[in-house]
Structure 1
Amino acid sequence: MTEPKPSIVLVEPEIPGNTGAVGRTCVALDMELVLIHPLGFDISDKRVKRSGLDYWQHIRLVEFASWHAFLAERSPRTDQLFLFEEFAETSFYDPDYPDDAYLVFGKETTGIPAHIVEAHAERLVKLPMRSSQIRSLNLANTVAAAAYQALRGKL
């Protein structure tokens, strides 16, 4: 039996370079990359692979046609899900992340779709910002910060 590992879930990502950079982070941390369609680009787009550099071939990539398809196949426990949204009240420093956590991020322009947020409102977390001049970080930066926090003490 293989040991449980966390996954990064990108729901409807729009920018190929961000997805490539997230994939590179996944390789570095031995995390699975889950993409929820529709994507705002073709996964074979060379901009995705350029951002992932020559690491793209090592990504454990899984794609699902929709959020519902992901839920149906994976059946995640409630305690596995962590949805990252700028308006969440809980800091991403607070939870204890299980070894098989799903760190969920939405599209760059609008975040996680409302129907997903509403269904999992108790699982929302945010990266705290010290400055009121900014709402959020770039998706790839947010994913990297979240992934390292989720693996804190486990690396």
Structure 2
Amino acid sequence: MPSADASLCLALYQPEIPQNAGTMLRLCACLGVDAALIEPAGFPASDRHFRRAGLDYLDHVRITRHVSWRAFAEWRATSSRRLLLLSTQGATPYSDFVFRADDILMVGRESAGAPAEVFAAADATLRIPMRPKLRSLNVAVAAAMILGEALRQTGGFAQKGEQGEFS
């Protein structure tokens, strides 16, 4: 059973583009969602594009770094949380899925998605229904859409009086 303080988590599997990773971590900070970073990443954490996309928000997100897929899988096994893989090859439209407040939503690499072992470990694979013949959305946009639905379903959005401003 997940711990009582477990919240939604956005996991980035071996991110390659620093601007996307920074944007997704900023999203996590603004929405109060935990983040997991599964290495190796295609850039150092000191990368200027990564820092620029994340701005000072990176100091406001709880990030757990995992040195490998295996380390992440071991961590997840001890937490008993569901792993939901977001993929263009997902079996279930995200809008048809029932989320839990302690789910881990994972995005794959920008160039190749997630490998077979990650698909095999996922409790569910989710996709965004799209028009035919169009390949995919930007990974940060896709993560924001599905994370928003998960927060809506689980009542995880900030309450009135806790909200910040749009920029």
CA RMSD of aligned residues (A): 1.7
Deviation at 1:71, TM superposition (A): 1.7
Percentage of matched positions with identical amino acids: 34
Alignment check: 8 A CA contact 2:85 2:126 kept: yes
Please name the residue that 2:58 is paired with: 56
* Partner amino acid, structure 1, of 2:127: K
Work out the CA distance in 1 between the residues paired with 2:46 and 2:129: 34
Deviation at 1:67, TM superposition (A): 1.6
Work out the CA distance in 2 between the residues paired with 1:41 and 1:73: 23
Number of residue pairs matched by the alignment: 152
2:85 pairs with 69, 79, 83, which one?
Answer: 83
1:126 aligns with 2:127: yes
* Partner amino acid, structure 2, of 1:29: L
Work out the CA distance in 2 between the residues paired with 1:64 and 1:18: 18
Work out the CA distance in 2 between the residues paired with 1:63 and 1:144: 20
Work out the CA distance in 2 between the residues paired with 1:144 and 1:13: 16
Deviation at 1:133, TM superposition (A): 3.6
* Partner amino acid, structure 1, of 2:74: A
Please name the residue that 1:115 is paired with: 117
1:8 aligns with 2:23: no
* Partner amino acid, structure 1, of 2:124: R
**Offset from partner CA, 1:98-134 (integer Å, 9 cap, x none):** 11110011000100112211333x51110111x2242
In the alignment, structure 2 segments of 5+ residues that lack a partner are 158-167
In the alignment, structure 1 segments of 5+ residues that lack a partner are none
Query: Does the C-alpha gap of structure 1 residues 123 and 2 become closer, same or farther in structure 2, counting only changes over 3 Å?
Result: closer
Work out the CA distance in 1 between the residues paired with 2:100 and 2:121: 20
Q: After TM superposition, what 4+ stretches of structure 1 lie above 3 angstroms from structure 2?
A: none
Deviation at 1:2, TM superposition (A): 5.8
Work out the CA distance in 2 between the residues paired with 1:60 and 1:88: 27
Deviation at 1:77, TM superposition (A): 3.3
Q: TM-score when scaled to structure 2? A: 0.84
* Partner amino acid, structure 2, of 1:92: Y
* Residue aligned with 2:6, SS: coil
Q: TM-score when scaled to structure 1? A: 0.91
Alignment of 1:90-109 (within 5 A): 90-109=92-111
